[in-house]
Amino acid sequence: MLNYPANDLERILLSEEEIKVRVESLAKQISKDYTDTPNLYLVGILKGAFIFLADLARHITVPHKVDFMALSSYGATTESTGEVRIILDLRQPVERMHILIVEDIIDTGNTVHYLQRLLKGRQPASLKTCALIKKQRNSIEVPVDYLGFTIPNVWVVGYGLDYADTYRTLPYIAELKKEIYQPR
C-alpha cells in the first residue's frame, strides 16, 4: 500500500485501468506500424517515462531495443526554465535506427522539441514520438505520432510522474493540489 497522503491529491484524472488499456492499444498500433522494420529503438526519457516505457515495451510484439536519456528543463521548480540539459545520453550511435522517443508528458513542448532536433541530427532511419499524456496548452507545438491522453493544464503525478521525486509510483495519474507545489 502506498503511503502518500490522499489529501495531497485533488482528483484522479486517469485510472490504473484506463492507463493499462491505452498503453496496450498504443503498443498494438506501434507493433503494427513497425511490423517489417528492423532496428526499432525505444528511447525512454528518465525519470518520468520509466514505468510507461516498461509497460509499453512489454506489449510491443516486434523486436526492439530499449535505451534511456535523461534531460531536464525544470530543475527544482515547477516552472520550466526553457533551457534543456542532457544529463544522460544514449549508450550507442543511432544512425540507421528507427527511433521511437517515449515520453511521459508533453507540457511546454520544449524538451521534446529539443530532443527531436538533437536525435534527427544523429541521422536515424526514422524518428517518431510516443507520449503518454499531453497538456492542452504547449508553448511549442511538437509532432506526436502516438498519444495516450490529452489532459488539462494541471500538475499531475503518478505512473512515473512526480513532484519533488514523490508520488511517482502511484498506479494512476492524479492532479496534485496546488497548495502542495505552490505553498503560500
Q: Which residues are catalytic?
A: 107
Contacts of 117 (CB under 8 A, 6+ apart): none
Burial of 165 (0-12, 13-18, 19+ CB in 10 A): exposed
- Label the pairing between strands 98-106 and 126-135: parallel
Yes or no: say if 175 and 156 are a contact pair by the CB < 8 Å rule: yes
Kind plus residue range of the DSSP H or E element containing 106: strand 98-106
Matching residue, cell 495516450? 148
Yes or no: say if 154 and 10 are a contact pair by the CB < 8 Å rule: yes
- Residue type present at position 130: C
Provide the β-strand partners of residue 42: 66, 100
C-alpha cell at 112: 521534446
CB atoms within 10 A of CB 168: 18
